[in-house]
Structure 1
Amino acid sequence: MRRRIMLLLALGLSFPALAEHPLSGKLWRLSEQRFVSEAELFAQLPTDGWLLLGEQHDNPHHHQLQRRWIASLADRGQLGAVALEMATTVQQPLLDQALMRGSTTTPDSLNWNAGWSWALYADVVRLSLDRAPAVIGTDLTREQQRSVYREGAPSDDMGELHANYMRRLLFESHCGQLPKDSLEGMRQVQLARDQQMAERLDQAQLKALSGVMLTGTIHARNDLGIPLWLEKPAVTVLLTSVQEGRQEPYDYLPESYPGAPVAADYLLFTDAIAERDYCAELQSSHRKTESSGS
């Protein structure tokens, strides 16, 4: 729950569904500041690298789009491995066993983490297992994350501006409810997860094909996440929920720290979902945890 709330709130990506928003369904290339077609993007994907799709985890429109893009790349003979933030490296043998058997795959057969709603992810995971040459688990296990929290990430050389921004982002995206002395440990976990996922992508890339990574927005960002550690070329697309009163692509450019790389290569605008009070949910989760521990 905490991880999901953090990634959702960091860019403010949960808003009421809007009918016929002028941006919905459009793809914006930041470098040229113009709209492009999906076919144009696909034609320019690195054939020895990755397409990173930064999602809002609980937005079904994002999962529908992921399925459509994965199917389109497969139809073009372009699809490489599909990598998942939602699966850890220890699940890899189970993912390998399920390859080409997606239609009969169950969450139990993958030892799927219940924290990632199978109802939301089942279709895209099953499609990937049936159409991709490999499906890759990329994340650290909970035990590994706890170890990193205590001992630190393998590398921490992004500079103080990046570090300060990440601490502030973690604090604000958890609704100001985190003890400030926990922020550095959480930042180290975020760094280690990004490094682990980047390493897995570098290892899993298939020659002459374009891999697809499904991950949260922050992990996908060029200025904050996986691309900072990735050796293979990558294109980042942030799936961005439209908001009432924000009619132009420029209204959605993510803020960052001074001197940071541009956060994404593309913004793909999608319908929003019904508004939820994530801060209230987080506070309720804290109360339940405290109550169960008393």
Structure 2
Amino acid sequence: MVIKQRILQSFLSTLVIFCLLFIQGCIKPAIHQVTSDPHQKLRQPGMIYSTQSGLSISYTKLLNELTTSRFILVGEKHDNPHHHQLELMLLQDLQNKSHTRVVLEMLDEQQTSNLDELTPRNKTEEIKDILNWNDRSWPWDDYGPLISSALANGNQIAAGNLSKPLLMQIYKHSLPEEARFETVKAVPETIQAAILQQVYDSHCQAIPLTQMEPMAQIQISRDASMAFAMNHQLPANAQSILFAGAFHARKDSGVPLHLKMLSEEKSSTLLLIEIEEEETQDRGLSEEDKKLADYIWFTPRSEKKDYCASLRQQSH
């Protein structure tokens, strides 16, 4: 009986790590539906919405506004190819050689030394090999172009994520005493509770809520790590850009929360949100939605996939 319990616990540990590595970036944050402005079509693929002005803006205006920010956070749905195309376009239009730092959720601290070995002369497949890239978790075709572009332009490239051994350590209630985790304990209890519920809901409520606290701690620790990577020793004239799952980029509970503790300089969050064709109609966004990001860019949905079905099957 004891052996069976240990096997089950080991399986659940592996499952939650898989979930936190991938699932949350595939489930879009809720965008509430209101009809405050029946004359403005806000939900159309390709539309960029400024939550501050309450209006749709052009791509050129978005770029102009983003250039005034010290920190830019782009939240994606990991398996949407439209998002990867837009991210590459954004990077190529914003990057400014060594004055740009590109932080990726898809890289962890174990790959930092590998990053130091890269040069602009490396070809795409060489970069992949040098980084010991995990193609199963993060398809190289999705993220290789980002890294290649950053490298070719002379950008700084930084790892934002935590390695699997470190994730397991945190899961077992042992947060390392490192500078990048200093903001973890400063997260207000109300936000911790919201993140706990967010993690529970985003994992389809397939795992008991009582087992979610370590996972919520991992979520908060990953956000802290990415914020630290964006800010740590960033040159005074440089801009830092993060590419991560949408939940990490949320202003109300993700990386921006930790950035505020680390720096008083301006940050801007852009969420890439996919919509169904039937959602393309006259409707606005609620005040609650506006707390999620500074900009929302609506995109086509890549495919219909029931993530909860597979997750529930694995948890039984």
| Band the TM-score falls in, shorter-chain normalisation | 0.7 to 0.9
Distance 1:40 1:97 in 2: 37
Segments of structure 2 that go 5 or more residues without pairing to the other structure are 1-17, 32-41, 176-180
SS at match of 1:273: coil
AA paired with 1:27?
A: I
Distance 2:121 2:87 in 1: 19
Candidates 55, 60, 66, aligned match of 1:34: 55
Sort the Cα spacing of 1:250 and 1:163 in 2 relative to 1 into closer, same or farther, 3 A.
farther
Deviation, 1:62, is 0.4
Q: How many residues align?
A: 275
Sort the Cα spacing of 1:144 and 1:188 in 2 relative to 1 into closer, same or farther, 3 A.
same
> 1:1-294 maps to which residues of 2 (within 5 A)?
1-3=18-20, 4-9=22-27, 11=29, 23-45=44-66, 49-74=70-95, 80-101=100-121, 103-104=123-124, 105-113=126-134, 114-151=136-173, 153=175, 154=181, 155-203=184-232, 205-230=234-259, 231=263, 232-247=265-280, 262-286=291-315
Distance 2:68 2:119 in 1: 22
SS at match of 2:241: strand
**CA deviations over 1:232-255 (Å, ceiling 9, x no partner):** 431100001122332368656695
TM-score relative to the length of structure 2: 0.78
SS at match of 2:103: strand
Segments of structure 1 that go 5 or more residues without pairing to the other structure are 14-20, 288-294
Q: Which piece of structure 1 moves more, 183-192 or 205-214?
A: 205-214
Deviation, 1:210, is 2.6
Number of the residue aligned with 1:291: none
Q: Does the Cα contact within 8 Å between 1:78 and 1:210 map onto a contact in 2?
A: no
**CA deviations over 1:152-193 (Å, ceiling 9, x no partner):** 554333333212221221111111111222211111111111
SS at match of 1:236: strand
SS at match of 2:117: helix
Q: Does the Cα contact within 8 Å between 2:104 and 2:243 map onto a contact in 1?
A: yes
AA paired with 1:224?
A: S
Deviation, 1:33, is 0.3
Q: Does the Cα contact within 8 Å between 1:88 and 1:138 map onto a contact in 2?
A: yes
Distance 1:208 1:246 in 2: 41
Distance 2:286 2:241 in 1: 23
SS at match of 1:245: helix
Deviation, 1:265, is 0.3
Deviation, 1:215, is 0.4
Sort the Cα spacing of 1:102 and 1:285 in 2 relative to 1 into closer, same or farther, 3 A.
farther
Sort the Cα spacing of 1:255 and 1:262 in 2 relative to 1 into closer, same or farther, 3 A.
closer
**CA deviations over 1:94-113 (Å, ceiling 9, x no partner):** 12322313533342220112
Q: Does the Cα contact within 8 Å between 2:97 and 2:154 map onto a contact in 1?
A: no
Q: Does the Cα contact within 8 Å between 2:230 and 2:241 map onto a contact in 1?
A: no
Sort the Cα spacing of 1:125 and 1:147 in 2 relative to 1 into closer, same or farther, 3 A.
same
The structure that has the greater radius of gyration is 2
Q: Which piece of structure 1 moves more, 267-276 or 36-45?
A: 36-45
